[in-house]
Amino acid sequence: MNYTENDICNIVAEQRKFFRTGTTLPVKWRLQQLKKLKAAVIAHEIEFEDALAKDLGRSKVEAYLCDIGPIIVEINEMLRGLRRWSRPERHFSGFMCFPSMVTKVYKMPYGVSLVISPFNFPILLTIGVVAAAMAGGNTVVVKSSSKSAASTAVLKKFFAKVFHPEYVTLIDGGHDVADMCLAQRFDKIFYTGSPTVGKHVLSEAAKNLTPVALELGGETGNWCVVRKDADLKDAARKIAFFKLCNAGQICININQIAVAEEVAEPFLQELKQAFIKQIGEQPVSNPEYPKLITEGAYDKCAKLAEEYRNRIVFGGVGDKDIRRYAPTLIYPVDINEHIVQHELFCPLLPVVPFKDAEVDSLMETIADREHPLAMYLFTKDMKWANRVMQTQQYGGGCINEVCIHMMVKGVPFNGTGHSGMGAYHGEWGFREFTHPQTVLKGKTRFNLPLREHPYGGEVGEKKLKILRLFER
């Protein structure tokens, strides 16, 4: 469908009209919709797998591991916790408010929300965010990526079949359609994608003072630091798995590795062996290995690899017809080269050597750049690792592990600065899509005249003494 601005305006108007009926407010009704969503995801699993294979070359196992399974886990957490999360908080008002001693905080939905989802995890990062918006009691307009065309087509039919359009509806199309959506007055916007587009979303939202959550990749990329005391085989195994996943097209993936030069050579050997063991010596011809999303993405990756051709120590080959490019190690790379100062979003993996004794200087350089969405440390020095993790600014991360921090239930997934704002997953997603409204219940009797005029003379002095007593 070719949408016009009037079409989108009408969709938003119908959703606002539906929201104002109050249908989405009861928690019981929200739970029913989440159950319906979960059942539909399970019923459409094969369709989702096929779409992910067409768009990104995902195998069934990777499709379930990265998209479908996490959605089911996420919805299950919402089903278990929603009644507790949505319960109004009861607070003691304080003696300053006497005799009105009870205040409540209600968790109210924003209203009509816009979810703009990316191409790299088109099922997870659409349905997962929609579920959070539903748990909060909102209606949802989804603008999905035109790059992942097969997944968008399946999702459009999926939402149309499961929900009425005044509750949840999906709009497809390119950047022009996204801009038409952003021109509308929504009550909440959730965008997942690049920092560059994130700035545009934030700018458009500002015109209507619409609150925004941004999940971005980080402009200067996510660092993985491997110190000389690290278990090199373990680190290599985990890093190889992660870089192979979705062919590196993951917002929290390792953008570059900093490895202590004392162990750089043996580490590179371990990493090469780990890649070969997991994907074989000819990854481009392995049907399990995912592909890049578009020819443009492939060309960008291949062009950058050619620029560093004389420093490629592993990989460096691809097949444009099937959009697969091998996992590629580039070594050595200086920390100030441009390849480690922007997000790659592909299978290229530059490796930066550093002296282990100068690791704190390395971390200072990283800290001076834009905040990454993720950080990974491999070391046996837990004192150092804990200090780094508690002083650096980043979205989230792991010590001696990769990526699975985002799979932990009950914790937020978020970015900071150029890697995003806001948070979601479980209760944090519910919080992101609700506004806490404070309501004090006043009394009509025994109200003291402390706050009322007069403030001068002897009466004022007495009031001041009582006020100071209450404020201690």
Tell me the catalytic residues. Answer: 215, 251
Cβ pair 213, 432 in contact under 8 A: yes
Nearest to 113 by CA among 1, 188, 61, 16: 188
CA distances from 312 to 160, 223, 254 (A): 48, 19, 17
Cis amide leading into 454 (omega within 30): yes
Q: Yes or no: say if 41 and 70 are a contact pair by the CB < 8 Å rule.
A: no
SS3 category, 374? strand
- For 71, 131, 291, the CA distances from 145, given in Å and listed in that order, are 18, 18, 17
Q: How many CB atoms lie within 10 A of CB 314?
A: 18
Listed in sequence order, the residues at least 6 apart from 422 whose beta carbon sits closer than 8 Å to its beta carbon are 190, 212, 213, 214, 215, 414, 432
Phi/psi at 24 (nearest 5 deg)? Answer: -80, -5
CA 300 to each of CA 306, 336, 345, 383: distance values in angstroms, whole numbers, following the listed order: 10, 20, 10, 40
Please give the Cα distance from 223 to 423 (Å, whole number): 21
